[in-house]
């Protein structure tokens, strides 16, 4: 069985994330959206809310699971029997950062392969951090997020 992890904080998930995920889906038997818990980051939305949103977005897709994890993504991959990591790339800067992580993962776990998906051009400027700023300042975030993302202040 080909299992991939799509790791991230997804705070919140954007249309760019969903685009990458839907394009990667035909390549795998299962994709686990792994919401990483990072003690150094203060998320805007609770882990429960992010899981709830993502489960609602993909409720009709049996090949997608959502769960949170702490620690190294590589260790989460081992726990989930995943040999693949899916990552989206928006820019050259993203590529350099993601390649360095992929190289380290590969050095530590040679059986782990990272697949990079170039972001669709229409989503290349989307990022969760920019969307959080829009939300924080009460702007209209709806064009950047799936319709299931509803924020009630």
Query: Which position has the token pair 């392969």?
Result: 113
Catalytic, out of 23, 49, 87, 90: 90
Catalytic, out of 68, 111, 128, 142: 128
Q: Residue 132 — φ and ψ, nearest 5°?
A: -60, -40
Clarify whether 90 is annotated catalytic.
yes
Catalytic, out of 41, 79, 91, 125: 41
SS (H, E, C) 49-94: HHHHHHHHHCCCCCCEEEEEEECCHHHHHHHCCCCEEEEEECCHHH
Computed over its alpha carbons, how large is the radius of gyration of the chain? Answer: 15
Clarify whether 17 is annotated catalytic.
yes
Clarify whether 41 is annotated catalytic.
yes
Sign, CA dihedral 127-133-135-141, equals negative
Please, what's the largest Cα pairwise distance for the chain?
46
| 92, two tokens | 């050259």
What is the set of active-site residues?
A: 17, 41, 90, 128
């Amino acid at each position: 069985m080909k299992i991939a992890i799509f790791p991230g904080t997804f705070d919140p998930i954007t249309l760019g994330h969903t685009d990458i995920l839907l394009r990667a889906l035909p390549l795998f038997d299962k994709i686990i959206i792994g919401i990483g818990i990072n003690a150094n980051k203060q998320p805007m939305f609770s882990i429960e809310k992010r899981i709830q949103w993502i489960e609602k977005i993909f409720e009709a897709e049996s090949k997608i699971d959502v769960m949170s994890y702490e620690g190294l993504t590589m260790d989460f991959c081992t726990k989930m029997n995943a040999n693949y990591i899916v990552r989206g790339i928006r820019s050259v800067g993203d590529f350099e950062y993601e390649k360095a992580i992929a190289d380290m993962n590969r050095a530590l776990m040679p059986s782990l392969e990272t697949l990079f998906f170039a972001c669709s051009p229409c989503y290349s400027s989307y990022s969760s951090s920019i969307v959080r700023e829009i939300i924080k300042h009460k702007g209209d975030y709806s064009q950047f997020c799936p319709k299931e993302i509803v924020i009630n202040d």
